[in-house]
């Protein structure tokens, strides 16, 4: 089964080949993350992040990093932080959504959550898709 390619005409009139990520794949990785977080509510926090969530993110990201994946990576990274934050709020019986107590940088810097957007392939400098990847 081959990959489906779409011809995309940008506003300058040039054409690009875009390889999309199928929406079912993003739903399946979100389901895996949701299942791991639900089952791991009583685990040690570093074990949950480093041994359960990170391998899912790393494997999915390495498989899809060559396609048109930047927006999908951002969506899944936001979903992962959101579910982990909600899990922590429920675990410690705090009200609200918890963005002040647990901002996204807290997950990445202090607990080693894998950064999906670090895998984005940006291409050469002359390319339309050339964007600096934040580190």
Mean pLDDT of 91-104: 78
Residue 48 resides in a domain: yes
Residue 76 resides in a domain: yes
Element at 2 (helix H, strand E): none
DSSP character for 4? P
Number of structural domains (the chain) is: 1
Residue 41 resides in a domain: yes
Residue 78 vs residues 3, 97, 111: alpha-carbon distances, Å: 27, 14, 16
Residues 6+ apart with CB under 8 A from 109: none
Look up the domain containing 78 and give its range.
21-119
What is the residue-wise DSSP string for 23-48? HHHHHHHHHHHHHHHHHTTTS-HHHI
Residue 6 resides in a domain: no
Residue 73 resides in a domain: yes
Q: What is residue 81's predicted lDDT score, i.e. its pLDDT?
A: 92
Mean pLDDT of all residues in the chain? 76
Residue 128 resides in a domain: no
- Asked if pLDDT for residue 32 goes beyond 90, the answer is yes
Mean pLDDT of 3-29: 58
Residue 32 resides in a domain: yes
């Amino acid at each position: 089964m081959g990959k489906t390619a779409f011809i995309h005409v940008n506003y300058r009139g040039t054409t690009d080949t875009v390889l999309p990520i199928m929406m079912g794949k993003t739903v399946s990785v979100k389901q895996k993350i949701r299942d791991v977080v639900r089952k791991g509510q009583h685990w040690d926090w570093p074990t949950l992040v480093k041994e359960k969530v990170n391998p899912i993110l790393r494997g999915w990201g390495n498989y899809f990093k060559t396609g048109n994946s930047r927006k999908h990576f951002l969506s899944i990274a936001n979903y992962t932080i959101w579910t982990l934050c909600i899990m922590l709020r429920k675990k410690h019986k705090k009200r609200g959504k918890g963005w002040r107590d647990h901002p996204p940088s807290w997950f990445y810097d202090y607990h080693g959550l894998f950064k999906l957007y670090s895998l984005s392939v940006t291409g050469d400098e002359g390319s339309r898709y050339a964007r600096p990847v934040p580190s």
